[in-house]
Structure 1
Amino acid sequence: MFSPIAVPIVETFGISFHQFSLLGGYSLLSTGAIGLFVAAGTRKFGKRPLWILSSIAAFVGTIWGAAAQSYGSFMGSRIIQGISEAFFESVTYAFIGDLYFVHERGTRTAAVVICYQALSSFPPLVGGVVTRDLGWRWCFWLLGIFLGIGTLLVIFFGFETAYKREAIDASNVTNDEDVTRLEELKGSVPTHTEEVEAFTISRQPYISRLKPVQGVYSKDSLLKLILTPLGTLANPAALWAIITLAFPVLWLVGIMLVIASIFSVPPYNLNPVELGYMWAGPLVVATIACFIAGPTSDWSAKYLSRRNNGKYEPEFRLFQVIGILVCAALGYFLFGYLISVQGSVVGISIVWGLQLAAAQFSAVVVGSYVNDAYYSISVEIFIIIGIVKNILFYCFS
């Protein structure tokens, strides 16, 4: 939403494009700075408390931004929005591991990516029109209305998904004792059978599920939980995830920060409405990429498992890095080339969409792989990805 309304904001507050880019930079920096605390709170008290607080912060920050009368005040609203972003950027993927089986996670990850990245191209598409007809502040007022509705939905229907996993999970074996226990369970053969009465656990009452905090999910101290994500940097898979997910999005955000300064001046001279229309390419191409990435991720997992004598390996999802390579190479090199030769805005918009498509493939492959292979530390890995990514974003701004 921010890119097409850059010029009106610059004119309103009398700032430079560099100062405008800092509005995004400090917002991203605050997202990275709060990440360790979000990870610790999620592990200790579950996802619902941070979900509610983050939704409220997003709503408050947006309303504040709509009413801000100075550059400093507007910057404050952007920082609050950035703080709220940390939860949605990282913990959302962990919901999928809580709720779905292995063969279902690829499609669900793609659905999250569509909402989080692909459909994020829609607000800029209409932002220019809203700015022209109602003024740029109404972009924030309208967003605030939707965030207010979303916050109420989270409070009344966003139930806790975390639960204590006392049973040993073969995908989360961490020590020799667990291995021994698993082998005993696998090797035990029942000597007799008997009929038992079916037993089901009654569902928690609705009023009880509305409690912000459902319990404590970790015995570790908050300090230990705050520092835990830093330890994932020693894991080669975490480093791979950071590179694979952060860098395609890094260049994409860098382009978003300068798109107005490129196309609002000669030879293009696009107004806010036309700048908004440029987001049609990313919206369409990225959505198509998600519809391809999700189903093919689950299909490959099931197909290769059958070929592997019924044994599933999380690495079966990694073939989609080919999509990242192809879309990123075409998207970034063609984007720079077309601008250098003053190419068609429509063509540039489509090529821009390829950049976002690369981000979709990277989000799906990293999200599904980390949930499958490293579920026990998935929140920490996603948090550290967000921290590194957002600090890099700030440096680029």
Structure 2
Amino acid sequence: MAFGILEDNKLAHVPGTSLLDDGVLNSEGVNISNISEESAAHLKHATGKNSHIILIPQPSDDPNDPLNWSLLRRDCLFAIHSLGYVINVGVCGPILSAGTLVIANELNVTITDVAFLTGYQLLVIGAAGPFVSALSRVFGKRPQFIAASLFGLIGTIICCTANTYNVLLAGRIVQGLGNVAYESIVISVIGDLYCLHERGLRLAVFNFCFGGVNLFTSVIAGPITTRLGWRWLFYIDVIFVAIQAILMIFFSTETTYVRDAKFDIDVAGEELYDDIEKIGAAHVENPDKPESEQTEKALDATTIPQKKNYLQTIKPYHGRVSNENILRLVVRPFAVLSNPSVIWIVLAMSIPLAWIVNINYAMAQLYGVEPYNMDAEHLGYLAAGPFIGGFLASLFFFFVNDPMTLWISRKNRGVFEPEFKLPLGVAIGSACLTIGCFGYGNAYRDKLSAIVAAVMFGFVCAGSTSMAITASNYMIDAYRDLSVEIVIAAMSLKNFLFYGFSYFFNNWVASAGPDVVFDVLGGIALFTSLILSIPFYIYGKRIRSWWHRAQLLKRLKLA
């Protein structure tokens, strides 16, 4: 038992469990999953001060394998995709929140109608997500990202020209089509580009964009709405959407790479670990041969492809990456929910974010009237609280995630378990969510300063960001091969919740009072983030073993 995680007695090696640090193996003689010291020493390692870290997954010898690209190139690609998320999702979603009352008065509609401008957009995202997931599995991610950037640009242009509610709604729906790929499959790009020991800080950066930057939109949008009018939000936004589309088309490339399963030692079962042993054994038996020849012999590799040139890398379409049936792939995001751990990941990623949107729905309703009477500009300033909260949480995990992974793996004799990342993130996330939700509603009930509301909103965002980082870390480390489907399931649940709440949330706040409403939300957040996480920490390894042995997706002919 490693730190309370129950061992599995069914498999010699459980997918997700990885030998990360053979510096410990070499010093203590630890052996895992029948990998000898000599064989482990000849697997590919990181360089420099991290030379004791085994690369997980193992890069192939193909120069077009993203894991073989320079770190600078990978980080630039990650930055372009993250910018795509910020512009097409982070800005697009909450851009109208601070100006809810202004738009309602100008277009002669209700506050609920304005909420539908976001609600219907999110409904489109949730409904289209499974199809984008399936298309990315078959045709790669790049065509989906290019289409998303173009839809985002077209939708924003429509919003720029909107003079009626229906035209604005149409533009928001088209923008929703531009959101789908960036909200659903962009996080899997991290698994494409980085090895296990490199993912933590990138996930922290992405989740800051996911939970913090999008809330800063209201800080900027509020003053623009008050001083220039709400249409200027889209006049300015269209410039950045166009820039991101250009970057995606001309400076990005496909990150999906189909490498031999023997290299994927993080998702390998015991049957593939026999091959991993052979990879290292080939080096031991033939120490005088060049490393590339040894690896080629061990893997029965064919001729190494030539490195693609610039024009080849920016092609919109790089051919099919899978021959799987698209309609079956559409069902996969729902089929993976047969895994209990995946259910927790989906809840942990979606529920806290849904509560943030609920606060945005109610902000103008609560603080735009007596006794606060805040205009769009000052309502926007309230979003500074969640921005700071999300930033601080992201900054903490930015510096802690990867060092903590290495430290706790060394304490476990070099062996990494995905569950190791759960306790710290869950503790911080659940505490912040509970404080924020309970505090927000009760602060309004007691008519405390709006600054208190901003601080409580900050706690909610810090908790949401912590849970998103923790759940996405666990997802990529434990179920990297299912990461697209898991994110789709979480995104669909989150967006359907958003859409559903847009129908009744404002009326619920008005009838029950914000203290009662946010006490209920706080209780739900505490249960899903903390209480449910405990059994999945303890039994997580056994669930991973069961999932690998059960092969449910293959039985359902979905894999």
Q: In the alignment, which residue of structure 1 is the partner of 2:310?
A: 206
Give the aligned partner of residue 340 of structure 1: 445
Residue of structure 2 in register with 1:172 after alignment: 267
- Which residue of structure 2 aligns with residue 245 of structure 1? 349
Q: In structure 2, how many angstroms separate the alpha carbons of the residues matched to 1:161 and 1:206?
A: 14
Is this contact kept in 2: 1:294–1:364, CA < 8 A?
Answer: no
Contact 1:114 1:290 in 2 (8 A): yes
Shift in alpha-carbon separation, 1:385–1:197, aligned structure 2, 3 A: closer
Query: How many residue pairs get matched?
Result: 396
Contact 1:32–1:387, Cα closer than 8 Å, also in 2: yes
2:130 matched to 1:36? yes
Query: TM-score, normalization: structure 1?
Result: 0.95
Q: Distance in 1 between matches of 2:383 and 2:185?
A: 27
C-alpha distance in structure 1 between counterparts of 2:196 and 2:286, whole Å? 32
Residue 197 (structure 2) pairs with residue 103 (structure 1): yes
Mapped partners of 1:260, 1:183: distance in 2? 61
Give me the whole-angstrom Cα distance separating, in 2, the residues matched to 1:395 and 1:141: 30
Counterpart AA for 2:473 = S
Q: Residues 284-299 of structure 1: matches in 2 within 5 Å?
A: 284-299=388-403
Equivalent position to 2:372, from 268, 285, 288: 268
Letter in 2 for 1:12: E
Deviations 1:73-100 (A, max 9, x none): 1111111122222211121111111111
Q: 1:5 aligned to 99, 105, 111, which one? A: 99
Q: What residue identity is the alignment partner of 2:265? A: A
1:193 aligns with 2:277: no
Q: Which amino acid aligns with 1:325?
A: S
Aligned residue for 1:374, secondary structure, equals: helix
CA distance in 1, matches of 2:339, 2:321: 24
Greater gyration radius: 2
Q: 2:543 maps to which residue?
A: none
Deviation at 1:198, TM superposition (A): 6.3
Q: Pairwise mapping of residues 120-269 of structure 1 onto structure 2 (< 5 A)?
A: 120-168=214-262, 169-173=264-268, 177-178=271-272, 180-182=274-276, 190-196=284-290, 202-269=306-373
**Whole-angstrom CA distance in 2 between matches of 1:181 and 1:302:** 25
d(CA) in 2 for partners of 1:4 and 1:50? 31
Retained in 1: the 8 A contact 2:283–2:291?
A: no
Asked if the contact 2:349/2:472 (under 8 Å) is kept, the reply is no
The CA deviation at 1:170 is 2.3
Give the partner amino acid of 1:225.
L
Higher relative contact order (CA 8 A, sep 6+): 1
Secondary structure (helix, strand or coil) at the match of 1:213 reads: coil
Sequence identity percentage:
33
CA deviation digits over 1:148-169, x for unaligned, max 9?
Answer: 1111011011211110121322
CA offset at residue 214 of structure 1? Answer: 0.9
When the two structures are superposed, what TM-score results if normalisation uses the length of structure 2?
Answer: 0.68
Separation of aligned partners in 2, 1:25 and 1:356: 20
For the structure 1 residues 350 and 304, does the alpha-carbon distance in structure 2 shift closer, same or farther, using more than 3 Å as the test?
same
Moved more, 277-286 or 329-338: 277-286
Q: Distance in 2 between matches of 1:134 and 1:17?
A: 21
RMSD between aligned residues? 1.8
Separation (CA, whole Å) in 2 of partners of 1:354 and 1:280: 12
Between Structure 1 and Structure 2, the one with more helix by share is: 1
Offset at residue 38 of structure 1 (A): 0.8
Shift of 1:63: 1.6
Alignment counterpart, residue 115 of structure 1, candidates 209, 214, 217: 209
Structure-2 separation of matches of 1:103 and 1:210: 28
Q: Which moved more, 1:84-93 or 1:193-202?
A: 193-202
- d(CA) in 2 for partners of 1:51, 1:373: 25
Aligned counterpart in structure 2 of residue 73 of structure 1, from 167, 175, 180 = 167
Q: Which amino acid aligns with 1:26?
A: Y
Shift of 1:179: 5.0
Give 1:202 shift. 4.5
CA distance in 1, matches of 2:338, 2:199: 26
SS class of match (1:4): coil
What residue ranges of structure 2 are gaps of 5+ in the alignment?
1-94, 294-303, 503-559
1:272-303: CA deviation from partner (whole Å, max 9, x where unpaired): 11111111111112111100123222222111
Secondary structure of the residue that 1:216 maps to in structure 2?
A: coil
Task: Quote how far apart the aligned CAs of 1:133 are.
Answer: 2.2
Q: Deviations over 1:106-133 (max 9, x none)?
A: 1100111122321112221111211222
Deviation per CA, 1:254-289: give whole Å up to 9, x if none: 111121111111011001111111111111121111
Q: How far apart, in 2, do the equivalents of 1:71 and 1:24 lie?
A: 13
Using the alignment, how far apart are the partners of 2:344 and 2:427 within structure 1? Answer: 15
- Relative to structure 1, is the Cα distance of residues 192 and 210 closer, same or farther in structure 2, using a 3 angstrom cutoff? closer
